[in-house]
Amino acid sequence: MPNQDGSITNSDKITFTQLLNRVVPVDDPKFGAAALGLRNLVEERSKANPSSNSALLRIIDALSLDMMAHAVGGFAALTVDEQNFAIHNVETTLPEEFNIILGITRDVYYEDERTPKRPTNFDGDNEIFGKVVIDIERPKPKQSRRKLRA
């Protein structure tokens, strides 16, 4: 759980590193976001804007509160399937925040010269996140009861 001042604890950094490895699927682990050391860049870019910083903190907080992550070893000790399940729960609970962090993560990852070319879309079979549809219901404008003069 992030500190009250908005800084991220060491255990949160480990959790966030695992999140990055899960949301950007790779065929070779040496090209994983964590192996490339991109966590700091994603964190810095997220902190550059109040809304993305808030999204980052909410995502990390939600993952740290996941009941499965309270096992010995925390989130990092979970199996890949358990991590994916926990991340998917956060994605469905906080879809807007999750998409902000997913977008920043993908941007940082594919801007790095060591990574493969950015896909034109993220609909591949190995892409399991970013598929939650965000339905934003906009309030209808109130109709005036005042009659217009003819």
Cβ partners under 8 Å of residue 114, min gap 6: 31, 36
User: What does the pLDDT read at residue 136?
Assistant: 45
Highest averaged pLDDT of the listed ranges 32-36, 92-96, 112-116, 143-147 = 92-96
State the pLDDT confidence band at 6, using cuts at 50, 70 and 90. Answer: confident
Highest averaged pLDDT of the listed ranges 50-59, 108-117, 138-147 = 50-59
Is residue 48 over pLDDT 80? Answer: yes
Q: Kindly state the percentage of the chain with pLDDT values over 90.
A: 19
Closest CA to 43 of 26, 31, 29, 57: 57
Q: Measure the CA–CA gap between 114 and 35, rounded to whole angstroms.
A: 11
Task: Tell me which residue has tokens 């909410």.
Answer: 58
User: What does the pLDDT read at residue 94?
Assistant: 92
Q: Measure the CA–CA gap between 13 and 19, rounded to whole angstroms.
A: 10
Structure tokens belonging to residue 119: 């896909």
User: What does the pLDDT read at residue 130?
Assistant: 56
Q: Kindly state the percentage of the chain with pLDDT values over 70.
A: 71
